[in-house]
Amino acid sequence: MIENTPYYKREALILAGGLGTRLKSAVPDKPKCLAPVAGQPFLDFVVDHAIKNGVEHIVFCLGYMASLIESHVQERYSGHVAITIVLEEEALGTGGAIKNGAKYIKGDRFFALNGDSLFAIAYDDLEMGNIEQDIIATIGLKPMVNFERYGTVILDDKGMIHSFLEKQAMESGLINGGTYLINKEKFLNLELPEKFSMEKDLLEVYSSQNQIGGVISDAYFIDIGIPEDFEKASQDLANHPLIFEK
């Protein structure tokens, strides 16, 4: 018997299971991804950008306050995009959560996003880099100046990531924008534990083997993980409704 598996043009997986400890002072009663920004839950900006870029199926990886997030996405997006909810019974780390959710992806590749950060990169650009290189993952990279909150990514002239530098004060550099395009088969075939860090245990390790690519985009980027950037996101996204057109 042949299983009737739906075909989706593009699929995405969104990590939205974190506790959001650093944002508790600003949003004490909601999961971080549902924090109100410019009059709507921040997660909506992430999902809307994915849909705008042709994503037809989204796997939501949930943990903390999962029922609130599930209720919101079902009410807001049912009928607009196919939804799969994956619940974590215990914290799996960023890599473990993606590995757990990837089993519900139907196609060969998928975009992995964070529910508490927004990078308005064009998915076409990420897809072209990943398919041409035939590698485990391609990361969207954001040029940034005068920063110390993020690590720095070293990219060669062929679009391959060589290394990741620890967080330190930098005048300029490329940061990991938290948007990945992942080759599902290559990813799931890696010998990785159930719980692991996507950044430390996969990206940093396999970048030394020419298996991690990068695509630079100066599109809008914000991570609402700290109160200062949460406030900045509220101002940015309220004052610039066409911010995704860049």
- pLDDT band of 2, cuts 50, 70, 90: very low
pTM of the model: 0.92
Dihedral sign from CA coordinates of 154, 216, 20, 112: negative
Architecture of the domain defined by 10-237: Alpha-Beta Complex (3.90)
pLDDT in tens, 166-212: 888 888 999 999 999 999 999 999 999 999 999 999 999 999 999 99
Q: What per-residue confidence (pLDDT) applies to 1? A: 36
What is the per-residue pLDDT for 169? 87
State the burial class of residue 169 (Cβ atoms within 10 Å of its Cβ: 0-12, 13-18, 19+): exposed
pLDDT at 111 over 80: yes
Q: How confident is the model at residue 26 (pLDDT cuts 50, 70, 90)?
A: low
DSSP code per residue over 123-179: HHHHHHHHHHHT-SEEEEEEEEEEE-SS-EEEE-TTSBEEEEEPS--EEEEEEEEEE
pLDDT grade, residue 241 (50/70/90)?
Answer: low
Amino acid at 31: P
pLDDT score recorded for residue 178: 95
- What residue segments make up the domains of the chain, in order of their start? 10-237
